[in-house]
A = this chain, B = another copy of it.
């Protein structure tokens, strides 16, 4: 560790010492980084008013604390569904009003940062944009908290330096999100790297959440890996929940339905207690 720290002397992301205080990040009135864990959930993409409100209500009823509100979708193919965009932002605000939960929206383009920041409670930087430094600079100055996903091939060191771009803008309201790395293994879509949780706890004061949906890419693995993430010491989860996963426009195979999400919340609660946390 000593050697690793020397690589990044004096960074704002760094934990000053073992007794140093940890940063609490607030999305609306939900706190990440305190004793209680918080769960962010919602569909991979906002598809329609009906689909999104159903999902949002299901998340709220089961104890989710924030809504995934994906209005802009970075898709591997230009011919795939790219999100509802501004109409998606409108539905995100509607869902917030209906449920009372704050919303988290990915932003893809420096030109949209201001618009998205005005509409939602937290700006997400996706894995593909983790080293889109111009976007990081804009989001760091947006006045909103940020959720920074780890790039598919990013080391913890590079991830922390990407977070430093956000902190360099003056705010410390940044949540890190482990969402799986790319390895040779094909049994899972990505390899959720839970080792990163305790590594980050030694190196940074920022809270860390785990995304078992993208991290594994398979619905049946979401609950066990969510439990494992909680046991490893994460501060929260971000989970894909869709009212009808089999008809989702994207990533249905890794989404839970409403009942599945209730099951997840029940499954993680005793694990959280076992490691001295609450939900």
Q: What copy number does this chain have within its complex?
A: 4
The answer to whether A271 touches B231, judged by C-beta atoms less than 8 angstroms apart, is yes
The answer to whether B165 touches A187, judged by C-beta atoms less than 8 angstroms apart, is no
The answer to whether A231 touches B220, judged by C-beta atoms less than 8 angstroms apart, is no
Interface residues of A in 198-224 (CB under 8 A from B): 198-199, 201-202, 215-216, 218, 220-221, 224
The answer to whether A155 touches B110, judged by C-beta atoms less than 8 angstroms apart, is no
For A153, A164, A270, the residue with the greatest tally of chain B CB atoms inside 10 Å of its CB is A153
The answer to whether B129 touches A132, judged by C-beta atoms less than 8 angstroms apart, is yes
A39 → chain B closest CB, angstroms: 16
Q: Which of B131, B168, B186, B271 contacts A128 (CB 8 A)?
A: B131
Interface residues of A in 112-132 (CB under 8 A from B): 128-129, 131-132
Complex CA gap A215/B198 in Å reads: 13
* A199 nearest CB neighbor, chain B only: B187
Cβ of A31: which chain B residues have Cβ within 8 Å of it? none
A185 → chain B closest CB, angstroms: 6
The answer to whether A74 touches B133, judged by C-beta atoms less than 8 angstroms apart, is yes
Cβ of A156: which chain B residues have Cβ within 8 Å of it? 185, 187
Complex CA gap A215/B184 in Å reads: 15
Q: How large is the interface on A (under 10, 10 to 19, 20 to 34, 35 or more residues)?
A: 35 or more
Complex CA gap A109/B113 in Å reads: 13
The answer to whether B185 touches A181, judged by C-beta atoms less than 8 angstroms apart, is yes
Cβ of A255: which chain B residues have Cβ within 8 Å of it? none
Q: Which of B78, B109, B221 contacts A195 (CB 8 A)?
A: B221
The answer to whether B227 touches A231, judged by C-beta atoms less than 8 angstroms apart, is yes
Complex CA gap A1/B199 in Å reads: 29
Give chain A's interface residues, CB within 8 Å of chain B. Answer: 1, 4, 8, 74-79, 108-111, 128-129, 131-135, 137, 151-153, 155-158, 161, 164-165, 168, 181-188, 191-199, 201-202, 215-216, 218, 220-221, 224-225, 227-233, 270-271, 273-275
> Mind listing 22 A-B residue pairs with CB under 8 Å?
A1-B218, A1-B220, A4-B187, A74-B133, A78-B164, A78-B165, A78-B168, A111-B111, A111-B134, A129-B132, A153-B182, A157-B186, A183-B183, A187-B195, A187-B196, A188-B199, A197-B228, A198-B224, A201-B224, A227-B275, A231-B232, A271-B275
Shortest 8 CB-CB distances between A and B: which pairs?
Answer: A153-B153, A231-B231, A128-B131, A270-B274, A228-B232, A109-B134, A198-B224, A274-B274
